[in-house]
Structure 1
Amino acid sequence: MSLSAHGAEGAITNALTIDVEDYFQVSAFAPYIARSEWDQRECRVEHNVQRILELLRQHQTQATFFTLGWIAERYPALVRAIVADGHELASHGYGHERASDLSEQAFADDIGRAKKLLEDLSGKAVLGYRAPSFSIGTGNLWAFDCLAAAGYRYSSSIYPIKHDHYGMPDAPRFAHQVREGLIEVPVTTLRMLDRNLPASGGGYFRLLPYGVSRWMFKRVNAADRQAAVFYFHPWEIDTGQPRIEGLDRKSRFRHYVNIDRNYAKLQRLLGDFSWGRMDQIFLPDQQAGAAVV
């Protein structure tokens, strides 16, 4: 099964997603920043998400915010602001632990805790989940059983590319059913030269010239006739974030490359394509913004 949304003139509505976490919570920083230090760090996520909300208002665009329970617990007003602007609130788990690092029970506890917290704060049903660092793969497909049992309707947790930290290159590139009542919606790749190329955001979007990213999305929309799934993080527009000392060269480059240019690139992206929420694009039978029942 694959799904996409088309506008009045046949234009495809793509899915805009934001992974709501702070700069010190990224997986690449785990060897440098202990979880016990998180509460001592300067949190910048609230200001950055407010900037994103204003940007979306300017472009009259709605999006899906995959939000950490850890963040929601500390900034409940931010959760309510996301929902008040008509965006979809979805789950990024509670503590930004990779699904591949957790036991089945620990994963079930994490996704259940996050879902309940987000629903209690927002009053809205939380239907979507994205694993930190796209950490569902061939070694932990049991995670889909846990998600279905917890009441999620879709996951966006597989990146069908080969990567040193994640990836499942042989997975389907577009939305497909993985369990009864549960679909997986991978982030977007472009198929070229018998391999999947990353085309969905994050560090790749910051690194590549904007014209390349724009061409990739147009190619997926025109050739595959599918909605693209784009993602970014609030810290990727934050030029004033504290610099972490002692990083290895690769981690430093991946995190900080072209952050100073990213806001302007996002403005262009929002203007060049039609964007919407994951649930409205991939769960057309679901009433958007439904209250918790």
Structure 2
Amino acid sequence: MNKRSSVFSALTVDVEDYFHVAAFERNIAPADWDNMPVRVEHNTNQLLDLFDTHQAKATFFMLGWVAERFPGLVREIHQRGHEVASHGYNHSKATSQSPEEFLHDVSRAKNLLEEQTGNPVTGYRAPSFSIGKQNEWAFAALKQAGYQYSSSTYPVIHDLYGTPDWPQQPYLREEGIWECPMPVLSMLGRQLPIAGGGYFRLLPYWLTRRLISRYVEQKDIPYMFYCHPWEIDPEQPRIPDAPLKSRFRHYVNLSRMEAKIGCLLQDFNWRSVNEVYQPYFKS
């Protein structure tokens, strides 16, 4: 058994259901969401139990659509000592919204979550890491809505998102909001994505553990991991008409994900974004 790292890293969950994902947006319209079998409540509770087993605390970036339909789930997350943050309301990419639409979306989600928990909601993550050079105005909107930090950028080259030439460390934006980018590891002249998601499901765990350990040993900035409740649900309904590439990305190794997360929780120490990044936010 490996000795658990003594460094605290940030554990995050983007709370959305399988039919919300961008990979299926051409196959499932938002108008159809209420007709889909919902699995997010059960899967999120399963993650909560798993986190409890390993004394891990996390930040749950809640989709407002989910929170409105399952207020008890939001309260359960809060009562178990985790941070409740915002994933917006409609799971619309920031790049697909006007500044006015974006402000309305993030404000609606924040107000809803604060009503449900009775606590301030200070964090936000854009669906599909969809803040970049083409919509930097989003940071001003987040500040206007009352957020303290964002975790909405990924400094990698990717076909769906990525800000490879943006900072790799937490930084205070000129708009007055902190941006906490997803972690990358520079190797062989490339910035490797090591934050979780599909890459975590695809790669063998020993390799992921080695990459994260190298990051923690070499960097003086926190490591952050993310996952989704649907990723531990191999029995979820299939979307057969989705593109092959999208189906591969979404379904690869779902049956192994829960066990791999368990290993990750055992090998590293986990706390919420708000706790791990407090030294930055206070500066």
TM, length-normalised to structure 2: 0.96
Paired with 1:176 and 1:195, the residues of 2 have a C-alpha distance of 22
What runs of 5+ residues in structure 2 fail to find an aligned partner? Answer: none
Match of 1:102 among 97, 100, 104: 97
Matches within 5 A, 1:253-272: 253-272=248-267
What residue identity is the alignment partner of 2:201? R
Aligned to 2:125: 130
Match of 2:69 among 69, 74, 84: 74
Paired with 1:201 and 1:285, the residues of 2 have a C-alpha distance of 23
Match of 2:165 among 151, 166, 170: 170
Aligned to 1:22: 17
Aligned to 1:113: 108
Residues 1:47 and 2:45 are matched in the alignment: no
Superposition deviation, residue 10 in structure 1 = 8.8
Deviation beyond 4 Å, 4+ runs, structure 1? 284-287
**CA RMSD across the alignment:** 1.5
Aligned to 2:246: 251
Paired with 1:59 and 1:246, the residues of 2 have a C-alpha distance of 38
Deviations 1:17-51 (A, max 9, x none): 00000000001100000111000000000000110
Superposition deviation, residue 285 in structure 1 = 8.2
Aligned to 2:209: 214
Residues 1:159 and 2:154 are matched in the alignment: yes
Match of 1:194 among 178, 181, 189: 189
Match of 2:54 among 47, 53, 59: 59
Paired with 1:286 and 1:137, the residues of 2 have a C-alpha distance of 22
Q: In percent, how many aligned pairs have the same letter?
A: 52
Q: 1:181 to 1:12 in 2, by over 3 A?
A: farther
Superposition deviation, residue 226 in structure 1 = 2.3
Aligned to 1:3: none
What residue identity is the alignment partner of 1:22? D
Superposition deviation, residue 181 in structure 1 = 3.7
Deviations 1:231-257 (A, max 9, x none): 000000001100112121100100000
Matches within 5 A, 1:141-160: 141-160=136-155
Superposition deviation, residue 276 in structure 1 = 0.4
Q: Secondary structure at the match of 2:250?
A: helix
How many residue pairs match? The answer is 279
Q: 1:79 to 1:203 in 2, by over 3 A?
A: same
TM, length-normalised to structure 1: 0.93
